[in-house]
Chain A
Amino acid sequence: AQTVTQSQPEMSVQEAETVTLSCTYDTSESDYYLFWYKQPPSRQMILVIRQEAYKQQNATENRFSVNFQKAAKSFSLKISDSQLGDAAMYFCALLYSGGGADGLTFGKGTHLIIQP
C-alpha cells in the first residue's frame, strides 16, 4: 500500500515571499512519479509540477520547484515570489509507474493562504 502524508494542514505566507510545503510518502516500489496539484476555490485540479523517481535532478516550473529526497521519501514544494493567485489547496500525489493505468494516491492537502 502507498501512503502520502502532508503534515501542514494550513500555511500562510506574505505576498512576494517564499514558502515550502512538505510531503512525505511511503511505497515499496522503486519506480514511481510524484506530483503536486493545486486546487483553487473553483475546485479545478491543476497540475503544478511532476518528478520521476529515477531522476536525481529536482524538477522546476517557473516559480515552483521541488526538493526530492528519495532516500528520505520526501518531496517538498517551494513557491518563490508568492502571488495572490497561488492561494489554493495543494495536494501531493504519488503514482506507481508500473505501466498500467494506476490511480493517484493523494495526501490530505495543505491550504495555502497568501497575505497581501
Chain B
Amino acid sequence: AAGVIQSPRHLIKEKRETATLKCYPIPRHDTVYWYQQGPGQDPQFLISFYEKMQSDKGSIPDRFSAQQFSDYHSELNMSSLELGDSALYFCASSLTGGGLAGDTGLQETQYFGPGTRLLVL
C-alpha cells in the first residue's frame, strides 16, 4: 500500500537559512499534519490542514509556515533557522471527511511518513 512520502529525507542548513520540507499524503487522504521530534523527545504537533485549509495549530514558531496545495501535498517552510530547529520532522496524513464505505474505522487515524532529518549548523 502507498505510504506518506516526505522529501528530502535529510537536510543540512546553516543558521539563518531557509528550508522547505515537502509531504505527499496517502492517496485519497484529505488531511495533513506536521510534527517536530527533537532528540530523545516525543513528537510535538505543529500544524494541520484539512481540504487545503488550516485546521489546527500547535506549537509552531512564527518563523514557520505551511500550506496544503490542490493536489493535497503540503509544504512546511522554515525561515531564519536556529540551532534548536535541528530535529526530525514528520508529516502524517489521515482521512477525516466523508470517506468510502468501510473506511469508517480508519478515519482520523494518522499515518506517518519516514520523516525529514534537519540539521542546522
Contacting residue for B31 out of A47, A101, A105, CB 8 A: A101
> Which of A43, A101, A105 touches B94 (beta carbons < 8 Å)?
A101
Q: Is the CB of A41 closer than 8 A to any CB of chain B?
A: no
B55 adjacent to A101 (CB under 8 Å): yes
Residues of chain B contacted by A99 (CB below 8 angstroms): 96
Point out the residues of chain A lying under 8 angstroms from B56, CB to CB.
Answer: 100-103
Cβ proximity bits B80-121 to A, threshold 8 Å, 1 near / 0 not: 000000001010101010000000000011111011000000
Best-buried of A91, A97, A104, A105 by chain B (most CB within 10 Å): A104
Indicate the size class of the contact surface on chain B: 20 to 34
**Any chain A CB within 8 A of the CB of B58?**
yes
Contacts of A44 in B (CB 8 A): 112, 114-115
Residue numbers in B under 8 Å from A37 (CB-CB): 112
Q: How many residues of A contact B (CB 8 A)?
A: 24
Is A47 within 8 A of B109, CB to CB? yes
CA distance A103 to B41 in the complex (A): 16
Bound form: Cα–Cα A114–B16 in Å: 42
Chain B residues with CB under 8 Å of chain A are 31, 33, 35, 37, 41-46, 48-50, 55-56, 58, 88, 90, 92, 94, 96, 108-112, 114-115
A: residues with CB less than 8 A from B are: 33, 35, 37, 42-47, 50, 91, 95, 97, 99-109
